């Protein structure tokens, strides 16, 4: 099965600020699901994301174990502040952890007058659980189910207003 999902958003910001918000754990822990992401920004470098205490507490309260590393991958291409290509795999769930690595591409384009277009392309070949996860859900009350659309919306809000969607 070959699936590619593309998400695009326009942000009133600079490529450098968007790049930092994606790759700097001080920034990326402030939006989306709040889990810091760490990048070795070189070809072949490591990517990983760690569980927050809130995630671990939720797991404990619901009788399951939360791994310290909740996502991992490898950097395939780095062109700051324009393009980042990496492999990506979610480890929080046994189903996604058993699937092959997927490929995630961030493209940042300076469009006009201080506005940038951020495009996320997620290639999800043979990874149906990942595809469902990152697509998100529109069901009311689906905690943590917003996928890439939620992450991008929260990133945009943070960069443009200084506040998260949930603040």
Judge contact between 122 and 8, C-beta under 8 A: no
| Residue 68, domain member (yes or no) | yes
| Residue 110, domain member (yes or no) | yes
Tell me the mean pLDDT in the region 118-124: 97
Number of domains in the chain: 1
Asked if the peptide bond before residue 81 counts as cis, ω within 30 degrees of 0, the response is yes
* Reported confidence tier of residue 59, pLDDT bands at 50, 70, 90: confident
Question: Whole-model pTM?
Answer: 0.92
Tell me the mean pLDDT in the region 147-152: 92
Instruction: Tell me what the pLDDT averaged over the chain comes to.
Output: 92
| Residue 166, domain member (yes or no) | no
Structural domain for 43, as ranges: 4-138+147-158
| Residue 163, domain member (yes or no) | no
User: Chain centroid to CA 92: how far?
Assistant: 14
Q: Which two tokens stand for residue 163?
A: 């506040």
| Residue 165, domain member (yes or no) | no
* Model pLDDT, residue 26: 96
3-state secondary structure of 38: strand
DSSP letter, residue 117: E
| Residue 115, domain member (yes or no) | yes
More confident of the two residues 118 and 135: 118
* Model pLDDT, residue 1: 56
The domain that holds 50 is classified in CATH as 3.30.530.20
DSSP letter, residue 100: P
């Amino acid at each position: 099965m070959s699936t590619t999902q593309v998400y695009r958003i326009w942000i009133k910001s600079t490529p450098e600020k968007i790049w930092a918000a994606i790759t700097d754990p001080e920034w990326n822990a402030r939006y989306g699901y709040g889990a810091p992401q760490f990048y070795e920004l070189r070809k072949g470098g490591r990517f990983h994301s760690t569980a927050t205490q809130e995630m671990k507490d939720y797991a404990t309260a619901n009788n399951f174990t939360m791994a310290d590393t909740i996502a991992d991958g490898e950097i395939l291409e780095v062109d700051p502040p324009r393009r980042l290509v990496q492999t990506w795999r979610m480890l929080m769930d046994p189903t996604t952890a058993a699937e092959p690595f997927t490929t995630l591409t961030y493209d940042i384009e300076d469009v006009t007058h201080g506005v940038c277009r951020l495009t996320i392309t997620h290639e999800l070949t043979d990874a149906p659980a990942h595809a469902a996860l990152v697509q998100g859900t529109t069901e009311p009350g689906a905690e943590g189910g917003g996928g890439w659309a939620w992450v991008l919306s929260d990133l945009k809000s943070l960069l443009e207003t200084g506040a998260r969607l949930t603040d």
